[in-house]
Amino acid sequence: MFETLKAQPADKILALMQMYREDPRDTKVDLGVGVYKDATGLTPVMRAVKKAEHQLWETQVSKVYTGLAGDPAFGDAMIDLVLDGAVARDTIAAAATPGGTGAVRQAFELIQMARPDARVFVSDPTWPNHLSILSYLGIETIPYRYFDNETRGVDFDGLIEDLKTARKGDVVLLHGCCHNPTGANLNPAEWDAVIEVLLQTGATPMIDIAYQGFGDGLAEDAAATRKVVAAVPECLIAASCSKNFGIYRERTGLLMAIASDKSAQQLNQQTLAFLNRQNFSFPPDHGARLVTMILNDSALRADWQAELEEVRHAMLGLRTQLAGELQRLSGSDRFGFLAQHRGMFSRLGTTPEMVEKLRADHGIYMVGDSRMNIAGLNAETVPILAKAIIDVGI
């Protein structure tokens, strides 16, 4: 039977990683992989996570299954972190998932069950896994304009014009903060306008929030999501703990389905548990347990938030340093957008040919669409990247 299988497209980031490993140059710089790295190039285990793991090792007496939707305490802790009372708790169904990707996948399957003819509007560009999963499930995808290659900001007029073509039963996929892959975010007034369009069209928002705390702060990064859920009757939220807790390999995520009333919440909760059963039965618990412990312990939470702030400020410092170095070398402020973007990523807005030239001539590795992981830099590599950008003529 296996002879009928067709080769699947190679993962571009994995291929980039392999090329980076094989590059002998001492000055090579990896800006492709989407993980946070400290100044030494390490993706560290956060202090609070280490402490929570030690406590868990000392106190945990069983590894028995959790419920199909995971430990309810994890759902409660994450709902509080993301929404902070923006809507009534008894309207929110929640299920733990294997990472934020698992939450996204379950959300798309829920959409397909509820509305087989739903179209999902996605920003152009968006995280490639969004498109890959939607394509695999056979869900119609409609791109809406988002990134302006000239300004390296949001094409807001185009975005609004495209979202106005949505209709009731469609879903609009939004990035809660730190847009991946561009780093360009909507401002509060623009979020208000998006909400107005959602209310006019009747489309349902789905928010992917994977970088809370990496942009302007925990509360600030969740502000748009809270504003949306408070304004619309229904919403889906896929949340990830990979980045802000640094537990990438523990695969810890949560899907929330917000309904208009308590009776609909009960049906949504049953459906989320059903979907988990069909896909992986019980979700992983180790990472979820650590997150729950950290968020519910005042000392652990304070330590986690302090370290998260260190991470956030480190990335902001790299952005400022890179924008300043490029201004010095170019004699212009055309790279000022790098300091304005937020999160791990920025998109240079250049061509694949220029990206290849950066790799071939200077050992700078980034995704072909010019997305670069700012957290892959350090104080020593920022000047190397800046010089390479100017040298190739971007």
Question: Which residues are annotated as catalytic?
Answer: 127, 208, 210, 243
Strand partners, 257: 93, 236
3-class DSSP assignment, residue 342: coil
Report how far residue 357's alpha carbon sits from residue 363's, in angstroms, rounded to the nearest whole number: 9
What DSSP designation does 331 have? S
Structure tokens at 305: 């938030």
Cβ atoms within 10 A of the Cβ of 326, count?
25
Q: How far apart are CA 381 and CA 85, in angstroms?
A: 42
Euclidean distance between CA atoms 272 and 279, whole angstroms: 11
What length does the chain have?
Answer: 394
Q: What is the DSSP string of 226-291?
A: HHHHHHSS-EEEEEE-TTTS--GGG-EEEEEEE-SSHHHHHHHHHHHHHHHHHHTSSPP-HHHHHH
d(CA 94, CA 235) in angstroms, rounded, equals 12
